[in-house]
Amino acid sequence: MPDPNRTGDRTAAQRQADHDGLARLSETLVPALVSKLNASGLGELEVREGDWRIRLRRPAGVAQGGRRAERPRLGLHLPVVAAPGSGATTAHAPTAQGVAPAAAAPEPRREVATSPAVGVFRPGAPVGTRVRAGDRIAIVDLLGIPQDVVAPIDGIVTEVLAQGGDAVEYGEEVAVVEAEPEKPAAGNASAADAGPAGREA
Amino acid sequence: MVSRVLIANRGEIALRVLRACRTVGMEAVVAYSEADRASLPAMLADEAICIGPADARRSYLSAPAIISAALVTGCDSIHPGYGFLSEDDAFADAVRAHGLTFIGPPANVLERFASKEETRRLLAAHGLPTIPGSGLLLDEAQALEEAARVGYPVLVKPSAGGGGKGMRMVRSPRELAAVLPICRSEAKAGFGDDSLYLERWLEDNRHVEVQVAVDRFGHGVHLWERDCSVQRRHQKILEESPSPAMTPAGRRELAERAIKAVVAAGYENIGTLEFLVDNDGNAYFIEINCRVQVEHPLTEMLTGIDLVALQLRIASGEPLGFTQADVPQRGHAIEFRINAEDPAHEFRPGAGKIERLNIPGGPGVRFDSHAYTGYDVPPYYDSLLGKLIVWGPTREAAIARGRAALAELVVEGVVTNTAIHRAILSSQPFLDGKFTTNLLDRVGAAAFLAGAERAR
């Protein structure tokens, strides 16, 4: 009986060589190339070495930022190693508008702000900024027309997921706002609604 | 030069364009709405970008969203598919103004052919016979006057757009007055332009259209004709080529006049000239479609020419690279539009998950579709699920392959209109090659289906 742990006729030495190659690729080569690509302003970088070929590419002119909702993939795709920051996915469905407040929990409520348009991200409120629901916290440049990224809830900007100049798509998660710890017994179930309504008056 | 294309459409045509881009070596980015994230074109694309919500006005009909998506993904061109913004000259102009290539006729050409009413006059001046009709309708009183001059029955048509939206046939002044506001609002909603005009209605007519291709240097060829006479409420259901209504000499003459007229009128890229053909074989020009059409695969089956690839190459500035003598018309082809519609309930459109899909195959069988087992058909867009195209050396052979392929096609979970296709293939007028555009509406689709059921 053949050893089920053996893959084909490859020797242990060959497999070890591949493992070493992969390890070197992911730990040394790719990070180095990514930083080179970032520093260069180039759109594409390709390196060949022995049997390996690595190609890094970013959309012309703009890097992609933020977190995009997962797009199912099918078929054989080109062996393109994506630019940094891209491809990061999240299990969350895109939360275009405010979501019902989470049940009372010890953890503070967190909501993501999403891009209102496909365009170029321009940061506004930096991490640490105190915002109210509906405040503009960044903009997305849609052919020169600024589109507001608004805070989904009252709180503090705890993360900005995209960088200035990044290409963002519609619904892409670009920032996180965390509610500040509530004062005990405040009973403000309608806190999220109070912000915009208050300003309207 | 075009090397990276943003595909600004959805469904089967987005997939068709993606395939063409890959075969000619152009990169493609699929622009999709939130409702189409799990659609086949978005999943098969190497790169895809979400441009807006399900509402087409904020995604597939949003010129800023589409142009912005093209720019941030580094595309140099935009393919509009059909419908949506495909024949919008203002959009084509905005695309050009942002340094991008519009895959289709240039904006100034689109503008020249934007008004159906003016196009009729332009092509009539270049030798095409046209059907008697009116100028643009101003108000009810003037519309009634024009209708009296043209002669009832008349067809009310939107000057912009196509696809049968906003069109109504009326037989009396009273009917005309009743449908005018309906047509206006449908035209406004469908194409953002509520201008209407009238055409005399030919009672028994056939819809025959000529495919043309003209490069930037004014070299043009026709790619023969297609017959789209099987319609329900001005919506094409089944198309075939060649047209059984035309003689070999008649089809050659019509095609040659068509290409001569559009070249003289300065057309560019691929396009389709639609004609009505009366019982005596006289053809009248009615309109031009400045885009790729749903039924374009028929022409591809008969000529062996990839029309979408040709469209990409022409937009890229390449010459045609072939002449009229290189465009054969081999055999016979039929296309069945597979729609998510229930023929038993007035063709009510449906949506929902496709639980099982079996795609027909075999020699001469082609299925262009974005559907797959597990695909959730969204309720927001048109009901076209796919196109079954069959080819045979003769019309009889194509019909036989059509029957076999329709029997193989299985779509479970969503009701489709395949019953109407089976009924058409067994109806005597179709078998005799005498189907007219008004037949289904005159008989009534339900009665037509019941008749086919009895005849079995």
With respect to residue B360, please indicate whether it lies within any of the assigned structural domains.
Answer: yes
Q: How far is the CA of A30 from the CAs of A18, A25, A43, A50, B301, in angstroms?
A: 16, 6, 16, 16, 47
Where on the phi/psi map is residue A104: left (φ > 0), alpha (ψ -120 to 50), or beta? beta
Q: Hey, are the CB atoms on A171 and B50 less than 8 Å from each other? A: yes
Length of chain B: 456
Answer whether B37 touches A (CB < 8 Å): yes
With respect to residue B441, please indicate whether it lies within any of the assigned structural domains.
Answer: yes
Q: Which of A34-43, B84-93, B277-286 shows the lowest mean pLDDT across its residues? A: A34-43
Under 8 Å between Cβ of A170 and A121:
no
Identify whether residues B91 and B61 lie together within a single domain. yes
Q: Give the pLDDT confidence of B412-427 residue by residue, as tens digits.
A: 999 999 999 999 999 9
Backbone torsions φ then ψ of B52, nearest 5 degrees: 170, 180
pLDDT at B377 over 60: yes
With respect to residue A3, please indicate whether it lies within any of the assigned structural domains.
Answer: no
Task: Give the count of domains, chain A.
Answer: 2
pLDDT at A72: 84
pLDDT at A58: 55
Q: Where does a domain end: B103, B118, B151?
A: B103
Q: Name chain A contacts of B35, Cβ cutoff 8 Å.
A: none
Average pLDDT of the segment spanning A124-140: 97
With respect to residue A192, please indicate whether it lies within any of the assigned structural domains.
Answer: no
Percent of chain B with pLDDT over 70: 99
Q: Which of B42-56, B124-138, B313-327 shows the lowest mean pLDDT across its residues? A: B124-138
With respect to residue A199, please indicate whether it lies within any of the assigned structural domains.
Answer: no
pLDDT at A53: 65
Closest CA to B80 of B5, B2, B166, B159: B5
Identify whether residues A122 and A58 lie together within a single domain. no
pLDDT at A90: 33
Average pLDDT of the segment spanning B155-171: 85
Parent domain of B417: 206-455
Q: Which of A20-34, A146-160, B382-396, B442-456 shows the lowest mean pLDDT across its residues? A: A20-34
Q: Hey, are the CB atoms on A143 and B48 less than 8 Å from each other? A: no
pTM: 0.81
Q: Give the count of beta carbons closer than 10 Å to the beta carbon of residue A165.
A: 14
Identify whether residues A68 and A114 lie together within a single domain. no
- Return the sign of the alpha-carbon dihedral for residues B287, B292, B298, B300: positive
Which residues are within 8 A (CB) of B250 and not within 5 positions of it... i.e. 6 or more apart?
B281, B283
pLDDT at B30: 98
pLDDT at A5 over 50: no
Identify whether residues B325 and B410 lie together within a single domain. yes
Please state, in angstroms and rounded to a whole number, the distance separating the CA atoms of residues B371 and B357: 8
Q: Give the count of beta carbons closer than 10 Å to the beta carbon of residue B430.
A: 20
Q: Hey, are the CB atoms on B50 and A75 less than 8 Å from each other? A: no
Q: Hey, are the CB atoms on A61 and B69 less than 8 Å from each other? A: no
Please state, in angstroms and rounded to a whole number, the distance separating the CA atoms of residues B64 and A140: 13
Q: Hey, are the CB atoms on B53 and A96 less than 8 Å from each other? A: yes
The per-residue pLDDT of chain A, averaged, comes to: 71
Identify whether residues B250 and B397 lie together within a single domain. yes
Q: Give the pLDDT confidence of B264-276 residue by residue, as tens digits.
A: 999 999 999 999 9
pLDDT at B305 over 60: yes
Cα nearest neighbour of B36 on chain A: A71
Interface predicted TM-score of the whole assembly (ipTM), two decimals: 0.87
Q: Which of A29-38, A107-116, B176-185 shows the lowest mean pLDDT across its residues? A: A29-38
Q: Hey, are the CB atoms on A59 and B72 less than 8 Å from each other? A: yes
Which residues are within 8 A (CB) of B348 and not within 5 positions of it... i.e. 6 or more apart?
B341, B342
Please state, in angstroms and rounded to a whole number, the distance separating the CA atoms of residues B21 and B7: 10
Under 8 Å between Cβ of B212 and B299:
no
Task: Give the count of domains, chain B.
Answer: 3
Identify whether residues B195 and B239 lie together within a single domain. no
Q: Give the pLDDT confidence of B205-224 residue by residue, as tens digits.
A: 999 999 999 999 999 999 99
Interface A:B, Cβ pairs < 8 A:
76
pLDDT at A1 over 90: no
- Which positions of B are catalytic? 291
Identify whether residues B253 and B161 lie together within a single domain. no
Under 8 Å between Cβ of B394 and B402:
no
- Return the sign of the alpha-carbon dihedral for residues B364, B10, B294, B447: positive
Percent of chain B with pLDDT over 90: 88
What CATH number is associated with residue B300?
A: 3.30.470.20
Average pLDDT of the segment spanning B4-13: 98
Distance spanning both ends of chain B, measured CA to CA? 55
Answer whether A59 touches B (CB < 8 Å): yes
Q: Which of B13-17, B85-89, B164-168, B384-388 shows the lowest mean pLDDT across its residues? A: B164-168
Under 8 Å between Cβ of B198 and B157:
yes
With respect to residue A94, please indicate whether it lies within any of the assigned structural domains.
Answer: no
pLDDT at A193: 41
Q: Which of A38-47, B44-53, B235-244, B313-322 shows the lowest mean pLDDT across its residues? A: A38-47
More confident residue, A55 or B145: B145
Q: Which of A166-175, B89-98, B445-454 shows the lowest mean pLDDT across its residues? A: B445-454
Average pLDDT of the segment spanning A46-63: 62
The per-residue pLDDT of chain B, averaged, comes to: 95
Kindly state the tokens that stand for A113.
């702000």
pLDDT at B279: 86
Identify whether residues B329 and B227 lie together within a single domain. yes
Please state, in angstroms and rounded to a whole number, the distance separating the CA atoms of residues B86 and B93: 12
Answer whether B374 touches A (CB < 8 Å): no
Q: In what order do the strands lie in the sheet with B196-200?
A: B168-170, B154-158, B196-200
Cα nearest neighbour of A168 on chain B: B72
Q: Which residue is associated with the tokens 């959730």?
A: B376
With respect to residue A188, please indicate whether it lies within any of the assigned structural domains.
Answer: no
Q: Give the pLDDT confidence of B238-266 residue by residue, as tens digits.
A: 999 999 999 999 999 999 999 999 999 99
With respect to residue B68, please indicate whether it lies within any of the assigned structural domains.
Answer: yes
Backbone torsions φ then ψ of B309, nearest 5 degrees: -60, -40
Answer whether A167 touches B (CB < 8 Å): yes
Average pLDDT of the segment spanning A187-193: 44
Q: Name chain A contacts of B38, Cβ cutoff 8 Å.
A: 71-72
pLDDT at A47: 66
With respect to residue B124, please indicate whether it lies within any of the assigned structural domains.
Answer: no
pLDDT at A10: 59
What CATH number is associated with residue A140?
A: 2.40.50.100
Q: Give the count of beta carbons closer than 10 Å to the beta carbon of residue B339.
A: 24
pLDDT at B194 over 80: yes
Parent domain of A48: 12-82
pLDDT at A45: 63
